[in-house]
Structure 1
Amino acid sequence: MVRRIHKPQKHAALKLGGVGVLAVALLGAGLTLASADDGAGAGAGTSGAQTANCPTVRDKLSNVPAAAVAGVEQELANLDKQIAEANARLAQQAANPQGGPNFIQNAILGPLASKRTAALDRIGININRAGGQRPDLASLATCGLNAAGNPSAVNGNAGNGNAGNAGNGNAGNGNAGNGNAGNGNAGNGNAGNGNAGNGNAGNGNAGAGVAQTVSCPTVADRLPTVPAQALAEVQRELANLDNQIADANARLAQQAANPQGGANFVRNAIVGPLEDRRVAAINRIATAIGRVDGNRPAELVNLAAPCTVS
């Protein structure tokens, strides 16, 4: 006789006992994250993302030669892009902590300081090459951390400096998703301040030495709830939008120093292409959100235009 021994099957019970809410609250910009689980259990909390606290540079510059304005503007834009990238990594760290107690310093703030040192050197070289006195900007390279939810001060939206009269302050997206959406003055937390909507795009060209700046609709403060899985990509594209504006401002600075083209040159060669690039970036934002929650905010593309100059 063959005995069959029946072993009881073991069933592993997977208990979802209170999934923590992993949400990065991005205050002031209207950019919030969907909670990881609506039924979060006891002890789950909302963790906020810290932001990079870097010294502003634009307001430390004075008497920038006209021939150096375009190069200086490009490096100021690079500094803001570096901050945006660091903030994206800080947001990821808040949502998914890793490394030891020195991880942020060693993996985020340290490399940021190195990149800032290189950009600050290039600013000084640009000024010196154009006949100006090279400023000592080395002390501005090191960054700390803001408390969670506080915005980073940036240069592209400062508008207070005197970089060869280049830039009157622009409404932008600041540091993607860190509460600095559309700050005309760096870190003031007032969305849409600055020169948003002022001026008349394409009305002739700025006179030599007086650079116009471009203003476009802000995006960060008009976003719906952003799922945590889409945050990093959305932040990258918000940073791209600001970098696009900075690139356009650098071209406007070049136009001021060396006017070219006819009455429609600014509209056709600078503002129009900028709006086209904004369409692509905003569509990528909408796709990133829709890919996660199925609700693609197609109406965001309406914020690509109009961009104006003043």
Structure 2
Amino acid sequence: MASTSKREKPENAVHRVHARNGLWQDGLARALGPELRRIWGIADDAEPGRVREIVLVRLNRVLVGLNRPEMPAIVWAAYNVGVSSPGEESGSVERLNRLIEEGGVKRSFRTCTRRLDEFLQAVKDGLSAVQEPITDEELGWAARKLAENSRHDAPEPAGLSAAIRRLRAPVEPVLKMFLDDTVHGPADGDGVPLTAKLGAGGEWFCVFTEERLLAGYRESTGANWPRTERWAGRDVVRTAAGRIFPTGVLINPSPVAGTGIDATLPLPPDEIARLAREC
């Protein structure tokens, strides 16, 4: 029997894109909903980074068409993109207030919200028009802009990221955080973590505690992974421990060899085997 439930209008879903953590929110594809994803040409199985890039391109096309001098600063602050963004655990109201306080625009909060409403209306009006395919050049621009955001507008590390920075050796509370937290990383076509060979160090899964760190690494290195995924830390450990070849897990690797060691946590194969017995 066909479902009688009504599908949400894509115009309504537009308002969720700048909510919470904007383009960096977890579950962005889910927030868009199936109709808006279809209109914007986002595959249901698109990786989170690609979803973010396509949305950024779609929004930028509308923004360019409006041609308002103060609009870009207001829009990108609202969507949490660019140097004016305060980072995670914020909302568009907080981001706009910060933009004003820091002198990013010489407008009142009321004026900024009117400009944002004008932009949102333009986005919704454009949904009925033919959506031209997105080019590789546009995707490249979006990837660079998002990676720049993740590098230069990064919030102070918190949670597992901060705990790793304070470490000189793995300790049980931090390892428990890793097992319980979600991490992000490159995956093969089946969604299994990809291995990297680190010279004499053998094979490793490279994972990241925050998706923005993964995006920055990919942009800096030009990595061409089939896809990216997120997993519970304990699932990464179980997968690594179940491989034929001894496999370690490297958390938050730096894109530049020899740097960023204080923010990286290596879990060698023997440590992975021990953790797997406790999972």
**Shorter-chain-normalised TM-score: which range?**
under 0.3
Normalised by the size of structure 2, how large is the TM-score? Answer: 0.24
Which structure has the larger Rg over C-alpha atoms?
Answer: 1
Normalised by the size of structure 1, how large is the TM-score? Answer: 0.23
| Structure with more relative contact order (C-alpha pairs < 8 Å, separation 6 or more) | 1
- The structure whose residues are more often strand, as a share, is 2
